[in-house]
Structure 1
């Protein structure tokens, strides 16, 4: 795991009318690391993630990618840099199968006039898709049926695996286990670890402190629109994290 940050937010400000969602927020993530982003409701987590995903623009502050300042006009700008995000709604097309969802918006077209007429390389997409799911250990068994009837864990695994397939630098996961049972949660967390082990920087947004301590390398705490603490996950505990979130304890910055 590199100690150099690949993606940073510095002094980010975001206002909605008279409401300030982010007030000088900082954040950074490193390759081959799972960074947990935690905070109470209204702390600014989702706003910060939307900004770093290109879905919103900050009112002030700067974003650095691989050490250089960048501006993201939209999510496509982030994706072009290898940054993918899985939001809570998953953004799956329910009527499509897992392979079609994997390639949604990135379909492989046949060469020449056939591609211009809309014909896709379906066999190649299926072969590569099955390989991608298997390589990440995603628990997907049915590749031909629509995702509508699949379990929450399988749907989540498809969304996470899709993001991991196309991400080359950073992947954001917003509450990936919020609606899952124990077994499904374990499967998704195992998948998150495997993604981290490929060298990607993973950002995990969650309310589950046990999950944070189980999988994260570092923990960033937001409170009232600011990052108030950074902890090494193996050097903290639930009580300390909750104290930093609520203001009961002073946080500490980690190296």
Structure 2
């Protein structure tokens, strides 16, 4: 039995859960002879945070690109509202309510906060061909939407580059929510932040979930994931190593999987023979065994 069997349903919804907005069934991506992603099952439900964890090279970026429409999958299926789709551009994904907030945030540091909020989708007024920016309405709308997410800024005229990293992430999240996102993909939003700013971002991830969005939280930090996650998927070398609901896995076990605990357990015997290496804290293989699911019918 694989560790992916840890969840009774591998991320599938319980009968009482709403249908997934986005679902991957055996999805994969190959670049010529290189298989970057293979056989990944993932379900994103409204009002839930799905955490995708993995080390560098695990396939997280490829997964993001498939769901966001930047790349097309070469195997399996991608479904939106139960309908198979094959996005050819990120605009098509955005039109279906899938918004991605990347690490670089796609902001212009010297532009004011309100202008970045509407960057590329500015409000205008007046007749064509002399339409002009409706600055007053954009400022008012940006302030209202940020406050709805619990973000209060004293001056929307300040350049967004003067905000902290956590504040910029929160503005990007609020912007995606305002423009109709139903699924919000967050690419390592806490990677370059300190403890306090990471906490701020996690707070607004929870706020987005509470507003009914399905959130895909990409991270390599199991502690951050466990604070807000409802379901956890661990990728390793392009395949799904673990898929578990929150009530089926603890933080310690999630951390072991994320850190390659199975490999550490396998190496414990060899390392024990090396003088000066303390292996007492290494996990035992038995500690990483997945419990038998309550019913085989639950597995997808």
TM-score by length of 1: 0.92
Question: What is the 5 A alignment of 1:10-49?
Answer: 10-49=25-64
Q: Which residue of 2 aligns with 1:57?
A: 72
Q: Which residue of 2 aligns with 1:72?
A: 87
Q: Alpha carbons of 1:70 and 1:80: their partners in 2 closer, same or farther (altered >3 Å)? A: same
Moved over 4 A (4+): 250-255
For the 8 Å contact 1:229–1:251, the answer to whether it is kept is no
For the 8 Å contact 1:6–1:66, the answer to whether it is kept is yes
For the 8 Å contact 1:228–1:251, the answer to whether it is kept is no
Counterpart pick for 2:196 among 160, 164, 183:
183
Partners of 1:187 and 1:134 lie apart in 2 by 14
Query: Tell me, which stretches of 5 or more residues in structure 1 are unaligned?
Result: none
User: 1:110: how far off?
Assistant: 0.8
For the 8 Å contact 1:177–1:188, the answer to whether it is kept is yes
Partners of 2:261 and 2:65 lie apart in 1 by 25
Query: CA RMSD, aligned part only?
Result: 2.0
Partners of 1:150 and 1:136 lie apart in 2 by 17
User: 1:200: how far off?
Assistant: 0.6
Quick check: 1:145 aligned with 2:158?
Answer: yes
Partners of 1:129 and 1:168 lie apart in 2 by 16
Q: Give the structure with higher Rg (CA).
A: 2
TM-score by length of 2: 0.79
Report the 3-state secondary structure (helix = DSSP H, G, I; strand = E; otherwise coil) of the residue aligned with 1:204. strand
Quick check: 1:167 aligned with 2:180?
Answer: yes
For the 8 Å contact 2:37–2:238, the answer to whether it is kept is yes
Question: What is the 5 A alignment of 1:46-125?
Answer: 46-113=61-128, 116-125=129-138
Report the 3-state secondary structure (helix = DSSP H, G, I; strand = E; otherwise coil) of the residue aligned with 2:26. strand
Quick check: 1:134 aligned with 2:176?
Answer: no
Query: Tell me, which stretches of 5 or more residues in structure 2 are unaligned?
Result: 1-15, 263-287
The one-character-per-residue Cα deviations of 1:23-81 (angstroms, maximum 9, x if unpaired) are: 12221110000110112221111110111011111122221000011121111001111
Partners of 1:60 and 1:117 lie apart in 2 by 49
The one-character-per-residue Cα deviations of 1:170-228 (angstroms, maximum 9, x if unpaired) are: 00001111111222111111111111001010110111111111111111121221223
For the 8 Å contact 1:54–1:73, the answer to whether it is kept is yes
Report the 3-state secondary structure (helix = DSSP H, G, I; strand = E; otherwise coil) of the residue aligned with 2:76. strand
Counterpart pick for 1:237 among 246, 250, 254:
250
User: 1:238: how far off?
Assistant: 3.0
Partners of 1:167 and 1:231 lie apart in 2 by 29
For the 8 Å contact 1:139–1:154, the answer to whether it is kept is no
Partners of 2:163 and 2:118 lie apart in 1 by 18
